[in-house]
Structure 1
């Protein structure tokens, strides 16, 4: 168990609640949890501890939205995501924390800009029509960012927004996507030493906060307006990207 002051534990508890909310109501907010964990814990330890909490939240998200997933979209994304995870493993072997944060921050801002531009230019086009190039690009970026910093949420949020998914289809597809990918990452994370017995104990303490966040998120998602939902996703993505650039 890491030795933390009460303030540090309080911040981690808040971050754990945000993890639950991000999986069941406000995708993109999870980047804030990434930032808090990285500020309180050593970089590698924070990544491993957060991954396990994300998996717990994934379970709740899948149970809540399992009937709303777009499986055709998921299968289209998976090959590119696997390639991105492999690139992330290689990148982690050579890059330091500063490079990792700044690289992901730049990627997120570029993704937001491209997504908003595409939505503006294709307002009259059927956005739900499959676009292979977009799936490959976003999928590779998601695999890369999820491996190096558990920060793929904003990338995939921008993709699902571009595809004009309704709130529940958005959340259901994201729930299955991250449940599969996060479990896939576990052996790699153990192999490079970022999941440890200490992180397991830490997560046991924080799991109740994740559960509270997930349940509150379900209540919010059933009442949130589509336009408000989309604006929140974009705002949280930009905030997370800026943090990663300046931290």
Structure 2
């Protein structure tokens, strides 16, 4: 088990943020790996987080088990599996910093455009009733799996396709919970094959597990206190913040 106090000083807030994200505040959990990497490096940070994510997924899926969109999951999950495979196969060729920068910039532009469009009722209505464009869902699903495997940043590509659907709040959260629960299980074999789950890592996971579970339930309770009409605006703002963080890390990673 890790005993460094600085590690827990950054790991506990990181796990809480992931829990809130799993509970419904989609996107903010992307800062968890960079936070923990300040203490243990990105590979070990990701290895510690993955079992916690899987447990948090169980809580999120259970909380929203009756509210999810079957069509979106059927459309986006198989391409996500292919994206995970591509991420694993191209890990030596694709810089995580480059992926973070690209995802961050696209996320900022997308969320800013949506916030601007929704200032006008007609524009918002046109967006809500626009074509589904399943080909875009396939691309976003694949991009989500790819970025999740490369840079643990699968949320923004998923949201870029799903947010414009204007699903009811709980359906959006439930669909996201199930999608990423499947994605995280698909990533598990690669971590096992790489020998990342050492005794030290698993013992540390056990210490952080109560925080992970409690913070996810807190997210479930808090997100339901956000007025439904303001929920998507909150998510768009969070997406801009997450995109800015990704672009910042990616830019300085490249330079």
TM-score, normalised via structure 2 length: 0.86
Moved more, 100-109 or 163-172: 100-109
SS in 2 for 1:124: helix
Match of 1:12 in 2: 11
Are the aligned partners of 2:128 and 2:166 in contact in 1 as well (CA < 8 Å)?
A: no
Flag the 1:108–1:246 CA change in 2: closer, same or farther, 3 A.
closer
2:52 is the alignment partner of 1:56: no
Q: How does 1:34-45 map to 2 (within 5 A)?
A: 34-45=33-44
Flag the 1:234–1:102 CA change in 2: closer, same or farther, 3 A.
farther
The runs of 5 or more residues in structure 1 that have no matched partner are none
Task: After TM superposition, give the deviation of residue 129 of structure 1 in Å.
Answer: 4.7
Are the aligned partners of 1:111 and 1:158 in contact in 2 as well (CA < 8 Å)?
A: yes
Selected match of 1:175 from 168, 177, 180: 177
Match of 2:193 in 1: 191
Are the aligned partners of 1:80 and 1:137 in contact in 2 as well (CA < 8 Å)?
A: yes
Match of 2:45 in 1: 46
The runs of 5 or more residues in structure 2 that have no matched partner are 118-122, 250-255
Flag the 1:221–1:199 CA change in 2: closer, same or farther, 3 A.
same
Task: After TM superposition, give the deviation of residue 244 of structure 1 in Å.
Answer: 3.1
Moved more, 24-33 or 127-136: 127-136
Match of 1:224 in 2: 226
Match of 2:153 in 1: 151
Task: After TM superposition, give the deviation of residue 171 of structure 1 in Å.
Answer: 0.8
Are the aligned partners of 2:17 and 2:32 in contact in 1 as well (CA < 8 Å)?
A: yes
SS in 2 for 1:92: coil
Moved more, 17-26 or 105-114: 105-114
Aligned length in residues: 243
Query: Distance between the aligned counterparts of 2:35 and 2:129, measured in 1?
Result: 35
Query: Distance between the aligned counterparts of 2:114 and 2:243, measured in 1?
Result: 20
TM-score, normalised via structure 1 length: 0.89
Match of 1:237 in 2: 239
SS in 2 for 1:27: coil
2:31 is the alignment partner of 1:32: yes
Flag the 1:83–1:150 CA change in 2: closer, same or farther, 3 A.
same
Query: Distance between the aligned counterparts of 2:238 and 2:40, measured in 1?
Result: 22
Task: After TM superposition, give the deviation of residue 193 of structure 1 in Å.
Answer: 3.5
1:127-184 Cα shifts (integer Å, max 9, x gaps): 4753212101211110011111221123223322111112100111011111111111
SS in 1 for 2:166: coil
Match of 2:214 in 1: 212
Query: Distance between the aligned counterparts of 2:233 and 2:227, measured in 1?
Result: 10
Selected match of 2:205 from 199, 203, 206: 203
Match of 1:2 in 2: 2
After superposition, the CA RMSD in angstroms is: 2.2
Query: Distance between the aligned counterparts of 1:87 and 1:122, measured in 2?
Result: 35
Query: Distance between the aligned counterparts of 1:179 and 1:128, measured in 2?
Result: 28
